[in-house]
Amino acid sequence: MVNPKLLKTFKGKKILVTGGTGSIGSEIVRQLLQFEPAQIRVYSRDESKHFFFQKELEKITHTCEVRNLIGDIRDKERLDKAMGGIDIVFHAAALKHVPFCEYNPFEAVKTNVNGTQNIIDSALQHNVEKVIAISSDKAVYPSSIMGITKLLMERMIINANYYLGESKTQFSAVRFGNVLHSRGSVIPLWIHQIQNGDPVTVTDKKMKRYFMSIADAVKLVFIATANMSGREIFVLKMKQRNIYNLAKEVIAKYNQGRKNVSIKITGAREREKISEKLFTKEEQSMMVEKKSYYVVYPEKE
């Protein structure tokens, strides 16, 4: 049964999804189709992913117009053209891999920070109704370039309210943990290693992470969209999992009678924390607990 509140939120709307061919962005698009939006614009720089995603969507029965737009959020001129007439923006485009961001810090800033400013500027210019940005638990007490740029992205989104002028745009963020089975995440890597007969790599036996499914991630994004009034951060309730124990579970599930698969400890990567946090101590005083998530409200002025 279609959620009536979400149907009311999305029906007849024109929606832009940046990073729309990625794991989260593409699932947002798939799930949106049930809510009868007028149009979805899938915005991504990856031509090959566009091609295969377009072929997938052709097999799904729906009445929504889906446009595949090649573009980069770094390109303000292209983004402005994609944003014209849009009601809701889901901002999922990002550089998200910690080691690559450490090795390419200027590129991380161009995408995660400068790209977000382009989103904000264009949304205000086109008087978009709502912008929902995807953040990470690595933005909480960040120790890496990726986490720092995500924290900047969060603060830019939350404080975009100061630039509103006469615009009606609402800006909010959702904060994710590690998304299971997303592209480049650890479980697909482990499955590949098991199938190749290679050792499963774990950085540290004490390493812990918060995990969420792609379905839970998209559900949180939609909850945020339906309930936001601007400047909130929505955080899904999650439990931390020990990575080493999780690796053993994955081996047991996917080994399927092959030879014994060993676990290789590789050591923590540069700037990598042993465990993450979902929110800061300061945010707890501004936070309201819901059934399945938390909402961090803006500070009172």
Q: CB under 8 Å to 258, separation ≥6 — which residues?
A: 194, 197
Element (H, E) at 15: strand 14-18
- CA quadruple 42, 219, 178, 193: dihedral sign: negative
Q: How many other CB atoms sit within 10 Å of the CB of residue 278?
A: 19
Contact 9, 226 (CB under 8 A): yes
Neighbours of 242 (CB within 10 A): 15
Rounded to 10°, the helix 145-159/115-125 angle is 20
13 is catalytic: no
- Do residues 161 and 232 make contact, with C-beta atoms less than 8 angstroms apart? no
The residue type of 245 is N
Exactly one of 49, 138, 150, 219 is catalytic; name it.
Answer: 138
- Find the DSSP H helices in 84-213: 98-103, 105-108, 115-125, 145-159, 186-195
48: left (phi over 0), alpha (psi -120 to 50) or beta: alpha
Query: Distance between CA atoms of 102 and 119, rounded to whole angstroms?
Result: 24
Q: Which two tokens stand for residue 129?
A: 């109704």
Burial class (CB in 10 A: 0-12, 13-18, 19+), 196: exposed
Using an 8 Å Cβ cutoff, are 259 and 195 in contact?
no
Q: What is the token pair recorded at 272?
A: 């990598």
Whole-number Å distance between alpha carbons of 290 and 32:
23
| Residues designated as active site | 138
